[in-house]
């Protein structure tokens, strides 16, 4: 049980010209499951390895339970880590792999036996205790790696993409197992992944990183609903959020967003902020907030756009993705439509945008422009 506080952490590798981690600050509460999410090479593993003590810290501090551990060697930090490669000791059987970390800590043999048997039973490893890792399947190895962390009952769990070598079905079941174990033990966990489904489903909070920096921290759905900038907007969500370049016209009192032949009243954003934008912005709207038909006609949030032509249709079974080209708009727009969608490539369609769920981004800084109603979840200023 522990809190992890990272303050202004930076990492510069020898011979690397750029900082791999830049001025990163993050606090993980006791028992919290924090996910670090970001594209490949953004420095996630570097952060984890500095917390573990496997990599020297260039600047900044890592504190566990309020005590700065920068100078504490890895072996004394009481942290357990699950590696992407599992890192099972090839010359030891499963029992000894699990017991290795306990032996060093001077735990009595009977207690070791009890803990290993307990963890093995929980993870379904009892039949394999006498086997060497090379005689296990990928999923079994993964569970041994997880078991090795669990038996230690450490202060902090670190996971570095532990599921990425598993096939899709196993990944889902192991994911659930891992969440269950962490919640049950209540051990603080930091989990690195570049898989957004893992991030959305596992984390109490997620921390989105890009190029060594934190971009946004928050609860998964909060971050999904209120991305801080276009990077988060595009990175979270599959297919990603549509970003439509718009021009802004108007005076200090009311503004219009224009793209193609469409003009929308920009009532959800502060006029004063809009007038500072140089007349240009990006309108972000998730594929599930664009409707193919008119399911809620009469709702003033919905804005109809006619003359969209269908570029491609991808039936996925449960749903259908429709790629559309809007007249006068260079970016294609993706619509998440029902499985019964009848659209075919080459046809024309009318779509509706749910402005109540739209976001506006500053094109220059890529930052989001706060909505007037952002505090009221999915609310709409009916009085405007």
Ligand X SMILES: Nc1ncnc2c1ncn2[C@@H]1O[C@H](COP(=O)(O)OP(=O)(O)OP(=O)(O)O)[C@@H](O)[C@H]1O
Binding site for Mg ion (CB under 5 A): 45
Does residue number 51 form part of the binding site for another protein (CB under 8 A)? no
Letters for 5-44 (x = contact with another protein by CB under 8 A, - = none) are ---------x------------------------------
Which one of 29, 61, 72, 83 is in contact with another protein (CB under 8 A)? 83
Query: Closest CB to another protein among 60 and 154?
Result: 154
The residue (of 84 and 275) whose beta carbon lies closer to Mg ion is 84
Which region, judged by CB under 8 A, interacts with another protein, from 21-29, 89-97, 171-179, 250-258?
A: 89-97
194 makes contact, choosing from ligand X, another protein, Mg ion, none, with CB < 5 to 8 Å by partner type, with: ligand X
* Interface with another protein (CB under 8 A), residue from 17, 66, 90, 298: 90
Question: Is residue 133 involved in binding another protein (CB under 8 A)?
Answer: no
User: Scanning residues 52 to 81, which ones bind another protein (CB under 8 A)?
Assistant: 52-54, 73-77, 79-81
Q: Which does 41 bind (CB under 5 to 8 A by kind): ligand X, another protein, Mg ion, none?
A: ligand X
Taking the complex as a whole, the smallest distance from the CB of residue 73 to ligand X amounts, in Å, to 19
**Is residue 91 a contact point for another protein (CB under 8 A)?**
yes
Minimum distance of Mg ion from residue 46's CB (angstroms): 8
Site string for another protein, 139-158 (x = CB under 8 A): ---------x---x------
Phi-psi region of 343 (alpha: psi -120 to 50; beta: other; left: phi over 0): beta
* Smallest distance, another protein to C-beta of residue 46, A: 13
- List contacts with ligand X (CB under 6 A): 13, 16, 20, 38, 40-46, 194
Chosen from another protein, ligand X, Mg ion, none, partner binding at 56 (C-beta under 5 to 8 Å by type): none
Q: Can you give the chain as a three-state secondary structure string?
A: CCCEEEEEEEECCCCCCCCCEEEEEEEECCCCEEEEECCCCCCHHHHHHHHHCCCCCCEEEEEECCEECCCCCHHHCCEEEECCCCCCCCCCCHHHHHHHHHHHCCCCHHHHHHHHHHHHHHCCCHHHCCCCHHHCCHHHHHHHHHHHHHHHCCCEEEEECCCCCCCHHHHHHHHHHHHHHHHHHCCEEEEEECCHHHHHHHCCEEEEEECCEEEEEECHHHHHHCCCEHHHHHHCCCCCCEEEEEEEEECCCCEEEEECCEEEECCCCCHHHHCCCCCEEEEEECHHHEECCCCCCCCCCEEEEEEEEEEEEEECCCEEEEEEECCCCCCEEEEEEECCCCCCCCCEEEEEEEHHHCEEEECCCCEECCCCCCCCCCCCCCCC
> What is the binding site for another protein (CB under 8 A)?
14, 49, 52-54, 73-77, 79-81, 83, 85-87, 89-91, 100-101, 104-105, 148, 152
């Amino acid at each position: 049980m522990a809190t992890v506080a990272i303050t202004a952490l930076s990492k510069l590798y020898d011979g690397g010209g750029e900082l791999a981690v830049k001025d990163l600050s993050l606090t993980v509460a006791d028992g919290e499951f924090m996910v670090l999410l970001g594209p490949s090479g953004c420095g996630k593993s570097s952060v984890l390895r500095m917390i573990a003590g496997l990599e020297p810290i260039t600047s900044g501090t890592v504190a566990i339970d309020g005590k700065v551990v920068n100078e504490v060697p890895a072996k004394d930090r009481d942290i357990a880590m699950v590696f992407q490669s599992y890192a099972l000791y090839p010359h030891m059987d499963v029992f000894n792999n699990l017991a290795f970390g306990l032996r060093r800590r001077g735990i009595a043999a009977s207690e070791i036996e009890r803990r290993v048997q307990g963890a093995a039973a929980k993870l379904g490893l009892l039949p394999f205790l006498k086997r060497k890792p090379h005689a296990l399947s990928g999923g079994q190895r993964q569970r041994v790696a997880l078991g090795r962390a669990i038996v230690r009952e450490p202060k902090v769990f670190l996971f570095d993409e532990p599921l990425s070598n598993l096939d899709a079905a196993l990944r889902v079941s192991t994911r659930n197992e891992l969440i269950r174990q962490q919640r049950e033990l209540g051990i603080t966990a930091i989990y690195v992944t570049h898989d957004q489904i893992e991030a959305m489903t596992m984390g109490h909070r997620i921390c989105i990183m890009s190029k060594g920096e934190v971009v946004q921290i928050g609860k998964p759905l909060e971050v999904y609903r209120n991305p801080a900038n276009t990077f988060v907007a595009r990175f979270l969500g599959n297919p990603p959020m549509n970003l439509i370049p718009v021009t802004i016209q108007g005076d200090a009192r009311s503004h219009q967003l224009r793209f193609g032949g469409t003009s929308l009243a920009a009532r959800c954003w502060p006029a004063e902020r809009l007038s500072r934008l140089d007349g240009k912005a990006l309108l972000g709207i998730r594929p599930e907030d664009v409707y193919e038909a008119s399911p809620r006609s009469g709702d003033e949030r919905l804005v109809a756009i006619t003359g969209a032509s269908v570029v491609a249709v991808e039936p996925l079974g449960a749903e259908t993705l429709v790629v559309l080209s809007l007249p006068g708009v260079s970016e294609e727009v993706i619509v998440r439509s029902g499985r019964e969608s009848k659209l075919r490539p080459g046809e024309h369609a009318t779509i509706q945008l749910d402005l109540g769920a739209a976001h506006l981004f500053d094109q220059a800084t890529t930052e989001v422009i706060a909505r007037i109603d952002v505090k009221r979840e999915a609310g709409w200023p009916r009085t405007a």
